[in-house]
Structure 1
Amino acid sequence: MTAPQSPADRPSDRPSVPFTKGHGTGNDFVLLADPDGNAQLDVSRVARVADRHHGVGADGVIRAVRSQHLEEGRAVLAEHPGTEWFMDYRNGDGSIAEMCGNGVRVFVHFLVEKGLVDLPVGSSLQIGTRAGVKTVTRMEHGYSIDMGPWSYLDAEAAEESAADAVVRAEGLADPRPALSISMGNPHTVVAVRTFEELADLDLHRGPTVDPHPVHGTNVEFVAAHEPLIREGVGRIRMRVHERGVGETQSCGTGACAAAAAMRAWAGPEGSDSWLVEVPGGVLAVDFVMTEAGAEHVVLSGPAELVFDGELHA
C-alpha cells in the first residue's frame, strides 16, 4: 500500500511544459517549443525526459528556439539573417550534439504542424544548428536536407580512402578497419561482410574505436547489397551506435557518412545516389555539385509526429 500524495506532489498541481514526440525512420525525439529561449535544459533534465523507463523516452531532445535568443543562434544570424529558428539538440544522455539529420526533418515538421512556420510542399527553409545552417525542403512525403559538404576526419585518409581507425565490437570475430568521416559531427564507418554478420552484432555495449576521437564518435556498421549498384543507385544496410545514446533505429548523418565511405571504397564503380536501409526504414542520400563547384550531401526521408503531452517540472 502506498502513501497518498499530498496536493503539492500531484503532477496536476505542478508547472507543466507541452512537448511533442516525433521520429524519423525510428530515430525518436522529444520536441519542445521555446520561441523566446526561456526553458532550461540542463543535462540531468534532458536525461530524465529521454529515459525510456522513467521518462518519455527518446534518442534525443530538441528545443525549437528563435535564433536571436541563443548565443549560437545569434552567431548564425550574423551570417544568415533569414535563419529564424535554431535547432537546440541534445543527445539522450543530456550531452550537446552538433547536428542530427533525422532530427532536422522532424524539427521542421514540428515547426510546420505547430503553425510556427509556413512551408508549402516544394518550399525551403533555413534552420540553424551547431553544425551550421541547413536548408530543408518540404516534399510530398517527407523532407530533404542539404547537409552541406562532407569531409574525412583524417587528411591522409582522404588521399587513398584508406582506413584510419580500428573498431572492435561484440559479435565481430576480429578487429575491423574503419574510415572516419565528418558530417558536422564525427562518424566511424565499418564494412562487414554479410547481412547476417550485421544482424549478429551486439550493440548494447559500445564499440571501441582506436584511436578514439577526443569528442567521441558515432559508429556505423554497413553491409552491401549484391550487386552494390542497381540501376545507378547504391544500396546498403546499416546499424549504428550513437555517442551519448547507444544503438538507434536510424541516424541521418550516419547514413550520409556510410554512403560517403561506401562510395569511396567502391571507386569508379560507385554512385552519387544511395538508398540506406536502417532498422527504422529507408533513407536516400545524394551527392550533388553546387553552382560554386562544391560537393554537398542531400539527405531525404520521412518525418512523423506521434503524440503530444506535458512534462511536469
Structure 2
Amino acid sequence: MSTIAFTKGHGTGNDFVIIADPDGELTLSDAQVAVLTDRRFGIGGDGILRVVRSGALSEGASTPDAEWFMDYRNADGSAAEMCGNGIRVYAKYLVEAGLVDLAVGEAVVIGTRAGTKAVTRTDAGFEVDLGVWRADDADVLVRAKGLPVARPGQGIDVGNPHVVVALSSGNELEGLDLSVQPMLDPTPAAGANIEFVVPADPLVHAGVGSIRMRVFERGVGETLSCGTGVAAAALAVRHWAGNAAPDRWSVDVPGGRLGVRVVTHQDGEHVLLSGPASLVFSGEVALA
C-alpha cells in the first residue's frame, strides 16, 4: 500500500480530488478512483483531476500545444471528455502550485480528451473557452422520478454530450428526485449528462438571460453544479428562444452561480463558461 498526496478543490460545489502526477507515473484503477471519491470511506468528490504533462500520456499526443493535460475521471472511475468546473479548478491548482504563472487577463491552454481548451484568469475566478458547440436534432425523451410524463430533451454537445429538459416551474424543478437516474429514450451509446431547466421571469433582463438548473451527471449522479451542463442548458434555452435571444447568460445551480457567453469565431460559435474555483485542503491518503 502506497501513500499519495492530494488536494481537494471545487467549483460552485462540484468537487474534485486533485492528484499531481506530472510525469505520468501513477495508474489508478476504476476501483481506486471510486474509493478515493467515496464520501464516507474516502476523501469524497464528484471526480478526480490528475495533473499530468501532455507529453507523458498517449492521450496527450492529441494536444501537443498544451504542456498540461487534465486527466478527468468520474466518481465511478470512467473517463470523461471534459469538465467545465473541473478545468477551472485544475487551472487554479496550476497557479497555486507554481506550475504556471498566470496574471489576471492571461490564459493557459490545457489539454483534455475533448481537445485543447484556453482558460483565462479573471478577477472572479476563471473563464474557459469550451469551443464550438452543436445542437442535436435527434428526438429524445427523458423520464425522471417526479415528472408524471416523459419530456422531450434537447441534445447539446459542448465537447461532451448533454440532454436538456425544459420544466414549467420551480416547483417541478424542486420536486425532481434525482437520487434515481433519469432514463433517456433512445439511450445514447456513450450516455449523457441530463439537465433540467426553468427560465427566470422575465427570461432576459438588461441583455442577460437567466435560468435555474439541476443536473444528473453520468457516472456520478446529481451534483451541485456541472460546468459543461450549465453551458449546455444556457445554449438549449438560447436555441429555443430564437434569433432574438441574448449571448450572455446567468445560470443558478444548487452550488452557486455561473456565467455563460457565446462569441463568434471563424470556425463557428464558441461557448465560454466563467465562475469561481477554490482549493479547500491538502493531505495524504493511503492508496490500496
- Quote the residue 2:133 is aligned against: 150
What root-mean-square deviation, in Å, do the aligned CA atoms of Structure 1 and Structure 2 show? Answer: 1.0
Displacement, 1:141?
A: 1.7
Structure 2 CA distance for aligned equivalents of residues 241 and 149 of structure 1: 23
Q: Please point out which of 259, 262, 278 is paired with 1:284.
A: 259
1:272 aligns with 2:244: no
Structure whose alpha-carbon radius of gyration is higher: 1
Structure 2 CA distance for aligned equivalents of residues 246 and 26 of structure 1: 14
- Quote the residue 1:305 is aligned against: 279
Structure 2 CA distance for aligned equivalents of residues 74 and 218 of structure 1: 27
Structure 1 CA distance for aligned equivalents of residues 149 and 112 of structure 2: 37
**Cα offsets for 1:103-128 (capped at 9, x unmatched):** 00000001111111111111110000
**Cα offsets for 1:90-149 (capped at 9, x unmatched):** 000000000000000000001111111111111110000000000000011200011101
Residues 63-102 of structure 1 correspond to what in structure 2 (within 5 A)? Answer: 63-77=50-64, 80=65, 83-102=66-85
Displacement, 1:21?
A: 0.3
Structure 1 CA distance for aligned equivalents of residues 105 and 244 of structure 2: 32
Structure 1 CA distance for aligned equivalents of residues 161 and 115 of structure 2: 15
Say which SS state the counterpart of residue 196 (structure 1) adopts: helix
Single out whichever of 260-269 and 230-239 deviates more from structure 2.
260-269
Structure 1 CA distance for aligned equivalents of residues 185 and 208 of structure 2: 32
**Cα offsets for 1:255-290 (capped at 9, x unmatched):** 111011000111134111100100000010000012
Structure 1 CA distance for aligned equivalents of residues 209 and 153 of structure 2: 19
Residues 162-201 of structure 1 correspond to what in structure 2 (within 5 A)? Answer: 164-201=139-176
Unaligned runs of 5+ in 2: none
TM-score calculated relative to the size of structure 2: 0.98
Q: Please point out which of 248, 256, 259 is paired with 2:231.
A: 256
Whose helix proportion is higher, 1 or 2?
A: 1
Contact 2:18–2:48 (8 Å) recurs in 1: yes
Say which SS state the counterpart of residue 190 (structure 2) adopts: coil
- Quote the residue 1:141 is aligned against: 124
Displacement, 1:15?
A: 3.0
TM-score calculated relative to the size of structure 1: 0.90
- Quote the residue 1:121 is aligned against: 104
Percentage of pairs with the same residue: 56
Structure 2 CA distance for aligned equivalents of residues 164 and 54 of structure 1: 41
Q: Which runs of 4+ in 1 moved over 6 A?
A: none
Contact 2:62–2:115 (8 Å) recurs in 1: no
Displacement, 1:293?
A: 5.2
Whose strand proportion is higher, 1 or 2?
A: 2
Displacement, 1:211?
A: 0.7
- Quote the residue 1:3 is aligned against: none
**Cα offsets for 1:46-75 (capped at 9, x unmatched):** 000011111101000010000000011122
Structure 1 CA distance for aligned equivalents of residues 162 and 2 of structure 2: 39
